[in-house]
Amino acid sequence: MLLTHSKFRDFTPKSICDTTKSAEVLLCLSCDSRSQVEDLVAKTVAAGSSIYANPKDYGFMYQHSFADPDGHQWELIHMSAMPPQK
């Protein structure tokens, strides 16, 4: 659930973290394909997010990162099926 700061305050007595100075969370979501990773990152950028790390291709896993307008860090990944180990 994405909330405005004023609505979020209804759920907690704690102060909201200043994400320009501290990392509050790192959220990671799995995608069905590499192209879905890129498509979702492009949509988030169009909606106001920013890229904070270049995409990484580990062979078996593709990862791309962005920060939402509040500064929360997101990782989108696609993992390929691993070949059987001998």
Degrees (nearest 5) of the Cα angle 48, 70, 53? 70
Would strands 26-30 and 50-57 be described as parallel, antiparallel, or unpaired? unpaired
Ranges of each domain in the chain: 24-79
Q: Give pLDDT, residue 83.
A: 61
Query: 74 and 66 in contact (C-beta within 8 Å)?
Result: yes
Q: Which residues contact 14 (CB under 8 A, 6 or more apart)?
A: none
pLDDT (mean) for 16-33 = 87
Q: How far apart are CA 9 and CA 45, in angstroms?
A: 26
Task: Provide the whole-model pTM.
Answer: 0.74
Confidence of residue 84 (pLDDT cuts 50, 70, 90): low
CATH code, 24-79: 3.10.180.10
Of 71 and 24, the structure prediction assigns the larger pLDDT to: 71
